Amino acid sequence: MLKIQLERVYRARTNARGKRILVDRLWPRGVRKDALKLDLWLRELAPSNELRKWFGHDPRRWEEFERRYYSELRRPERQEQLHELLALARKGPVTLLYGARDEEHNEAVALRKFLEGSTKK
């Protein structure tokens, strides 16, 4: 079973153990790179710019966003980073970092759900 936690980059760092991985395509505004204390930035696993802009963090578009994002994650060019993230999550706890205000409708939530679903197959 995977131990994947989520954390908004603008909150104080929790006592989470394990790897801290930023999964946003863009660096979070106003956050210094040395202040984030991350282990890895997997920007290529983030939604494409087109999908990110289309979604606009509109909860009414959430289900369609998830469907489109999962389709993007299945593309061959995403597989290397996806397997890297899965391998890390299988070794120990992982915290996916994101910048979105909405804690229920963001790429980290969708990515965790995708990863958890991929291990059940």
Beta pairing, strands 4-8 & 94-98: parallel
Domain ranges of the chain: 4-116
**Total-model pTM:** 0.92
- The fraction of the chain above a pLDDT of 90, given in percent, is 80
pLDDT averaged over every residue in the chain: 92
Reported as a single tens digit per residue, the pLDDT across 54-100 is 999 999 999 999 999 999 999 999 999 999 999 999 999 999 999 99
Query: From residue 98, how far is each of 1, 6, 79, 120 by CA, in Å?
Result: 22, 8, 20, 25
